[in-house]
Amino acid sequence: MRIASFAGLSACLCLAACLDRGEYPSLRPRAFEVAGGAGAPLPPAPPAAPARPDIVARIAALIARAEEGQRAFVGELAAARPVLARAGAADSETWIRAQEQLSALDASREPTVSAMAEIDAMTLAGADAAGAPLGENDLAAIAVGGERTAALLAAQHSRIAELAATLASP
């Protein structure tokens, strides 16, 4: 027991000898901290640069492609409804035709799906095709395009799910 306390005491003395006795900054609050942070106000942040025209044009083209996909979907939906209404029992000829029509309806969504994929890729990259970083308003323009395209996709998906639910299960 005495050896352990002697070893601990000698270790403390060795460490104390290594300490620097220089001046350290005070831990007391600084003047601006005492005054409630009422120092000089920070200058306002510079306004964000407007969205770049090439980004705005690309998003407009992607939204147009998504809406083209929506028009194709609506046309295919009109063709699918009567076929699905005539669908018979599972694995019958009319049921198989209805399944094919659902597949065609799903395939008509391709322009909308690919537009959404490109918008997502732009968002994730955070840069344009040349590698230049996107600004705040560029990202905002991309987000608006993404919201519009995502709404189209959600409506399409919902419509397909509703129609698929009307078919008999195999």
Residue pLDDT, tens place only, 78-116:
999 999 999 999 999 999 999 999 999 999 999 999 999
E strand or H helix at 48, and its extent?
Answer: none
- The answer to whether 118 touches 146, Cβ cutoff 8 Å, is no
Predicted TM-score (pTM) of this structure: 0.70
Cβ partners under 8 Å of residue 70, min gap 6:
112, 152, 156
The amino acid at residue 9 is: L
Q: b/e per residue, 6-27, with b = 16+ CB within 10 A? A: eeeeeeeeeeeeeeeeeeeeee
Mean pLDDT of 134-147: 94
Give CA–CA dist 70/93, Å, rounded: 29
pLDDT at 28: 82
Give CA–CA dist 168/65, Å, rounded: 34
Kindly tell me if the per-residue pLDDT of 151 is higher than 80.
Answer: yes
Give CA–CA dist 152/169, Å, rounded: 28
